[in-house]
């Protein structure tokens, strides 16, 4: 495994870029989706100096030698282009600065959520599949950079990153789904606040006052712009906003990222080079990527392909799951997950059900109609919890 900065004069410390925070991974992961959209615009606006500056921000990590000889093959598709699969992971250290926001510390480096982004060969659609950290899976044998074996085991999804970094997470994903990864991105949460501040905040709807003494998070209900630490607090709330646990938080974060995507793509941002520069500067400083994405130019080339798809065709869903009977705090992928991975392998669109439930990068579900309860004005407690989980007001 080789790891280096895009800047040849920068440090080659293999641990330097994997410091951040735990629970914020869910939302930062999706940051790559809208970073990719913004990058294509930025590349056309800034000077050669800016390109070099952004390139020097990037950290490049080659894990090819750690992925084994039994990687899945990609299914051949008709046409001049192939589908693209990008695995996005969060990087954190629970002992890092500010990591006690969720009441959890210690345990070393982790990736608390993983996102698979699939871009179709015809570039007509794209979707991101969120993988809950609490899902119990069979982790395969992994390998260190020195080719030493890391024993596999039945464990939580995010344990792979803890024991073997991004290489083990990629290997785990490929062995479980038989979907080959083309590129990977690791996002350090420390840049999240800077990204939000660079675009002068993101509008969210908080359905009820939040008073979370565990994380020391206190937010007033209502629709408003959140910035910096407040935005980070909002997307990381573990208590007192819904009873849906980690899944509810993931959905809320998906809605936040959709709102952020809109903000990045808005005229108010695109017409402000200072905001774009600040956003991309913060984003590139937070990214560790494979050699195939080793420069702003390469990232922008990928960005252009996502931009061609259109925000309304980029959807975010969560892997179908079921309860894990031995432990109510854990879950497992359901049988429908196999159907979803089959669609990814064969470059097929999402099922009608998943597509309808998805949050799009344009900021709304495919089916924007009100529920019967909303139309009748009889919003239930369950409706309110769902709204809270998604960062919307019932």
**Greater model confidence, 71 or 81:** 71
Can you tell me the distance from the alpha carbon of 9 to that of 124, in angstroms, rounded to the nearest whole number? 40
The pLDDT value recorded for residue 323 is: 94
Q: β-pairing, 2-5 with 149-150?
A: unpaired
CB 27 within 8 A of CB 113: no
Span 302-324, mean pLDDT?
A: 84
The pLDDT value recorded for residue 246 is: 63
pLDDT bracket for residue 341 (50, 70, 90): very high
The pLDDT value recorded for residue 230 is: 84
Listed in sequence order, the residues at least 6 apart from 26 whose beta carbon sits closer than 8 Å to its beta carbon are 90, 112, 113, 130, 235, 249, 250, 253
The angle formed by the CA atoms of residues 221, 225 and 230, to the nearest 5 degrees, is 75
Q: Which helix (H) or strand (E) holds 166?
A: helix 159-177
Query: What DSSP string describes 84-146?
Result: EEEEEEEEEETTSTTGGGGS---S-EE--EEEEEEE-TTSS-EEEEEEETTBEEEEPPEE-TT
- The terminus-to-terminus CA distance of the chain in angstroms comes to 49
Q: Write out pLDDT tens, residues 131-148.
A: 988 899 999 999 999 999
The pLDDT value recorded for residue 25 is: 39
Can you tell me the distance from the alpha carbon of 43 to that of 381, in angstroms, rounded to the nearest whole number? 47
Q: Which domains does the chain have, with CATH numbers?
A: 2-197+255-363 (3.30.420.590)
Cα-flanking dihedrals φ and ψ of residue 125, to 5°? Answer: -155, 160
Say what the pTM is: 0.74
CB 141 within 8 A of CB 149: yes
Q: Write out pLDDT tens, residues 256-283.
A: 877 887 788 777 777 788 888 899 899 8
Closest CA to 210 of 226, 221, 202, 201: 221
């Amino acid at each position: 495994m080789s790891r280096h900065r895009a800047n040849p004069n920068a440090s080659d410390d293999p641990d330097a870029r994997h410091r951040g925070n735990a629970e914020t991974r869910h939302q930062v992961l999706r940051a790559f989706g809208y970073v990719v959209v913004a990058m294509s615009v930025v590349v056309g606006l800034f000077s050669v100096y800016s390109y070099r500056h952004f390139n020097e921000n990037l950290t490049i990590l080659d894990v090819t030698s750690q992925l084994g000889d039994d990687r899945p093959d990609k299914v051949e598709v008709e046409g001049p282009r192939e589908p693209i699969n990008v695995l996005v992971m969060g990087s954190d250290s629970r002992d890092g600065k500010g990591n006690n926001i969720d009441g959890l510390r210690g345990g070393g480096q982790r990736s608390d959520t993983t996102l698979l982004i699939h871009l179709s060969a015809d570039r007509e659609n794209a979707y991101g599949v969120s993988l809950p950290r609490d899902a119990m899976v069979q982790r395969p044998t992994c390998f260190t950079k020195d080719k030493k074996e890391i024993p596999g085991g039945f464990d939580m999804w995010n344990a792979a990153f803890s024991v073997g970094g991004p290489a083990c997470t990629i290997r785990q994903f490929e062995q479980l789904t038989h979907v080959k990864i083309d590129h990977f991105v690791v996002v350090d949460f420390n840049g999240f606040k800077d990204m939000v501040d660079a675009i002068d905040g993101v509008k969210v709807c908080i359905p009820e006052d939040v008073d979370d003494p565990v994380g020391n998070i206190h937010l007033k209900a209502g629709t408003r712009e959140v910035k910096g630490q407040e935005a980070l607090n909002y997307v990381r709330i573990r208590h007192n906003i819904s009873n849906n646990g980690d899944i509810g938080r993931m959905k809320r974060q998906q809605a936040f990222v959709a709102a952020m995507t809109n903000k990045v793509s808005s005229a108010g941002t695109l017409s402000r080079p200072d905001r774009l520069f600040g956003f991309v500067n913060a984003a590139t400083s937070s990214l560790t990527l494979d050699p195939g994405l080793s420069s702003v130019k390469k990232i922008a080339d990928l960005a252009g392909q996502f931009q061609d798809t259109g925000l309304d065709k980029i959807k975010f869903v969560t892997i179908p799951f079921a309860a894990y009977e031995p432990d109510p705090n854990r879950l497992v992928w359901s049988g429908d997950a196999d159907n979803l991975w089959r669609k990814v392998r064969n470059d097929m669109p999402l099922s009608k059900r998943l597509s309808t439930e998805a949050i799009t990068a344009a900021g709304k579900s495919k089916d924007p109609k009100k529920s019967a309860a909303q139309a009748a004005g009889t919003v239930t407690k369950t409706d309110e919890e769902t709204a809270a989980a998604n960062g919307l007001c019932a």
